[in-house]
Copies of this chain bind each other. A is one copy, B any other.
Amino acid sequence: MTGSLTVVGTGPGKPELMTPATQAAIAQASDLVGYGPYLDRLPAARADQCRHASDNRVELDRARQALSLAASGRNVVVVSGGDPGVFAMAAAVFEAVEGGDPAWCGLDIRVEPGVTAMLAAAAEVGAPLGGDFCAISLSDNLKSWTTIERRLKAAAEADFVIALYNPASKARPHQLARAFDLLRSVKAAETLVLFVRAAGTAEARVVAAPLATADASVADMRTLVIIGASTTRQVGRWIYTPRSERGSVS
């Protein structure tokens, strides 16, 4: 088979945060497959380039469509936001390969890394991911809430900085509040919580609050939430986590 499939991420939003490697992959594609709003971010298509826009939450269907196109000889690019390997399309593509036509294993499939949302969110406020950290998706579409709570508790007890992806959606309005309740039982009341909306775009907006009073309703689908470690602190207008666990400046 001569087709190919490349999974890319457009980064957090601004074109200046999309890597040149991803720009080149998109420019060379015969077919672009992705969630409509991500495709809309891209520059105008060449006349001979096909765009296949789909709705949100149909990742496996989208992945199968892309694999079928590649198997038919097309040079397909699957377009995610952020980094395609972090709570995005790359895993869905390999799930589709595993469950699909055995011939798909022979395709030329590549992943291009990108700037994932937590890195853009961190950069908006300083360096809150300066120590060990973890990334957890609060969506329980594909895993149980029990698993999410177990991971939140483990991360809090081991004093990781915690980045929460998918903190809220219309279908899941109450989960972030439940996560905060759990975290309050483990972490200090003054732990810094950052709500970073539309990070890496011209509309970026940051709200910081102590965990004790952090209001989960501040978060929406475009928000990345960062919960500090015990050492995460403010200096001037910035928030950062020192590299040292004691937070001492030597």
Interface residues of A, Cβ cutoff 8 Å to B: 7, 11-12, 14-21, 24, 59-60, 83-87, 90-99, 104-106, 109-116, 119-120, 122-123, 126-137, 142-144, 147, 150-151, 153-155, 157-160, 200, 233, 235-238, 240-245, 249-250
Contacts and interface: CB of A to CB of B under 8 A. Distances in A.
B112 A123 contact: yes
B136 A132 contact: yes
A103 to B, nearest CB: 11
Contact of A114 (B119, B157, B160): B119
A119 B20 CA distance: 16
A20 B24 contact: no
A142 B243 contact: yes
B17 A127 contact: no
Nearest to A9: B119
Given A119-B85, A127-B90, A155-B158, A143 B244 contact: yes
A151 B158 contact: yes
Contacts of A144: 245
Given A134-B155, A158-B151, A200-B113, A240 B17 contact: no
Contact of A21 (B14, B112, B113, B133): B14
Nearest to A139: B243
A111 B116 contact: no
A245 B157 contact: no
Given A114-B115, A119-B86, A132 B135 contact: yes
A81 to B, nearest CB: 14
Contacts of A109: 236, 238
Nearest to A110: B123
Given A94-B126, A105-B236, A111-B123, A250 B132 contact: no
Contacts of A21: 14, 16-17
B60 A240 contact: no
Nearest to A90: B127
Contacts of A16: 19-21, 24
A85 B123 contact: yes
Given A19-B18, A98-B249, A122 B115 contact: no
A130 to B, nearest CB: 3
